[in-house]
Amino acid sequence: MKKILIALILCSQIAFAQTDSLSIKIGQMILIGMPEAKVDPVVLEEVRKGKVGTLILFEKNVPKSSNAFAPLKKMTWTYQQAAPIPLFIAIDQEGGRVNRLKEKYGFPRSLTARALGKAGSLDSVRFYSEAMAANLAGLGINVNFAPCVDVAVNPKNEVIVKVERSFSSNADSVALLAQEYIRQHRKYGVITSLKHFPGHGSSLEDTHFGVADVTNTWTENELKPYQLLLNAGYVDAVMTSHIVNKKLDSKGLPGTLSKEILDGILRQKLGFQGVVFSDDMQMHAITKQYGLEESIKLAIQAGVDILCFSNNIAGSETRTVDRVFEIIRAAVDKGEISKERIDQSFARIMSLKKRLTQNEAEYYRQQIREIEAQALQQRRLAEENARQAFEREKSAREITDKAKSEEAKKQEKKRRKKTN
């Protein structure tokens, strides 16, 4: 195993060394989904060459076992070890319906955001989110596309409200509960991503299947959780929504493709300067309205840093890293996307990954401290057991010696009587 690991690292270093800087930067902007619950050789080679910076896991990638932890951890470890730049290994693990790591695979139980909101207790959020974060960290998953901070504006909303993905219809409550959720993830070095900007809680339609126009239902209050969490310093990253809001974008572009929304509102108005993930670019709200090349160019121009291609949407054409990479590279070569724009995304991504490696280092230091503490406790227990065993043996010897002494005295008395 050690020889295989060394070979993997050497191969990745050689392939990476032969890659130009622009290609490296573009690779960091690509997120891809994998086909099965095992290491995919094609994806592994793309990782090794630095052509992809983020991988995402779905339930299809979880080994179908009642104890899936070890094989899933081995899979994430294999990808991570092959990467010349540390990977984001991401998952949508909100809890409830959006739950890839189910109890039947041996993972902890999770609750919906709404159930936690109804409980009205930060202790409940703390308990379930800490268990979730600890589990993710142990698996080598370092990004959770959660919490969902959509405000439950429309009770008829099928994709957020009815399936209980929103904490509350009150924006302040959403922010409060989300902050505790994020705090627990940070304890274990897991990055979180708020979603779905600028708010999906008022829609009547589902962007998985087509256009969701919230022009007449969206309210400014849906931005409040983002602003409150930004003010409190609890925003690691943000995921976009494909909703259409003509009051926010004069051209009627979906949020993911809108510079007015992402640059104008998120970055300039709210002041967020971190990493922006797109929602899945294979959702039909995008694919039925825009071609692949057009949507990629618009998203990057709008301010998206990492483009998500999950290969998990029914009826959607599979997207490969090579194809996405070629489109971005060609757009830069033609001057349709500036090198400066790529540099901006790369700088934001690397800044977050730097924090990630620091978090992981602290996580492993904590793991070592816990192991050492357990070892010390076991050593003390062993010493105490040995002491007690010695005392019991000593006591037994004393009893035996006393009994022998008394028996000897009796025998001596008998001998004297006979002599007399």
Mind listing the pLDDT tens digit for each residue in 59-70?
999 999 999 999
List pLDDT tens digits, range 113-167: 999 999 888 999 999 999 999 999 999 999 999 999 999 999 999 999 999 999 9
Predicted pLDDT of residue 259: 98
Contacting residues for 136 by C-beta, under 8 A, at least 6 apart:
91, 93, 142, 144, 185, 188, 190
Residue 157's nearest CA partner among 213, 206, 197 is 206
Report the alpha-carbon distance of residue 324 to residue 237 in Å, rounded. 22
Q: What is the mean pLDDT of residues 302-308?
A: 98
- Residue recorded with tokens 């609750």: 111
Contact 352, 191 (CB under 8 A): yes
Predicted pLDDT of residue 7: 47
Report the alpha-carbon distance of residue 282 to residue 141 in Å, rounded. 23
List pLDDT tens digits, range 159-189: 999 999 999 999 999 999 999 999 999 999 9
What's the Rg (C-alpha) of the chain?
29
Please give the single-letter amino acid code of residue 140.
G
- Other beta carbons less than 10 A from residue 346's beta carbon: 20
**Taking the alpha carbons of 255, 256, 257, 258 in that order, is the dihedral positive or negative?**
positive
Q: Which residues pair with 93 in a beta bridge?
A: 99
The residue ranges of every structural domain in the chain are 2-373
Q: Is 308 left (phi over 0), alpha (psi -120 to 50) or beta?
A: beta
Report the alpha-carbon distance of residue 296 to residue 327 in Å, rounded. 8
Q: What is the mean pLDDT of residues 234-256?
A: 97
List pLDDT tens digits, range 91-111: 999 998 899 999 999 999 999
Contacting residues for 304 by C-beta, under 8 A, at least 6 apart:
240, 256, 262, 276, 277, 278, 345
How long, in residues, is the chain?
420
Please give the single-letter amino acid code of residue 357.
T
Predicted pLDDT of residue 5: 39
Report the alpha-carbon distance of residue 109 to residue 297 in Å, rounded. 40
List pLDDT tens digits, range 256-297: 999 999 999 999 999 999 999 999 999 988 999 999 999 999
Report the alpha-carbon distance of residue 175 to residue 192 in Å, rounded. 14
Residue ranges of E strands in 150-254? 191-197, 237-240
Residue 236's nearest CA partner among 183, 301, 299, 309 is 183
Strand, helix or coil for residue 271: coil
Residue 205's nearest CA partner among 245, 258, 251, 148 is 245
Contact 235, 149 (CB under 8 A): no
Predicted pLDDT of residue 12: 47
| 328 has pLDDT over 90 | yes
Residue ranges of E strands in 182-274? 191-197, 237-240
Report the alpha-carbon distance of residue 192 to residue 145 in Å, rounded. 6
Would the pTM of this model clear 0.85, i.e. be above it? Answer: no
Predicted pLDDT of residue 55: 98
Please give the single-letter amino acid code of residue 215.
T
Tokens of 19: 């890659």
Contacting residues for 308 by C-beta, under 8 A, at least 6 apart:
31, 54, 56, 277, 278, 279, 280, 281
Q: What is the mean pLDDT of residues 297-302?
A: 98
State phi, psi for 54 to the nearest 5 degrees.
-140, 135
Predicted pLDDT of residue 286: 93
Residue 269's Cβ-side half-sphere holds a number of Cα atoms within 13 Å equal to: 15
Indicate the DSSP class of residue 35: S
Tell me what percent of the residues of the chain surpass a pLDDT of 90. 72
Residue 279: active-site member: yes
| 409 has pLDDT over 50 | yes
Predicted pLDDT of residue 377: 78
List pLDDT tens digits, range 218-242: 999 999 999 999 999 999 999 999 9
Contacting residues for 51 by C-beta, under 8 A, at least 6 apart:
23, 27, 30, 321, 322, 325
Residue 226's nearest CA partner among 153, 151, 169, 299 is 151
Per CATH, domain 2-373 is 1.10.540.10: no
List pLDDT tens digits, range 72-82: 999 999 999 99
Report the alpha-carbon distance of residue 147 to residue 144 in Å, rounded. 8
Catalytic residue among 150, 213, 249, 279: 279
Predicted pLDDT of residue 317: 76
**Taking the alpha carbons of 252, 254, 259, 264 in that order, is the dihedral positive or negative?**
positive
* Mean of the per-residue pLDDT values of the chain: 89
Identify which has the larger pLDDT, 402 or 105.
105
Catalytic residue among 185, 196, 200, 208: 208
Report the alpha-carbon distance of residue 83 to residue 120 in Å, rounded. 42
| 9 has pLDDT over 80 | no
Q: How far apart are the first and last CA of the chain?
A: 85
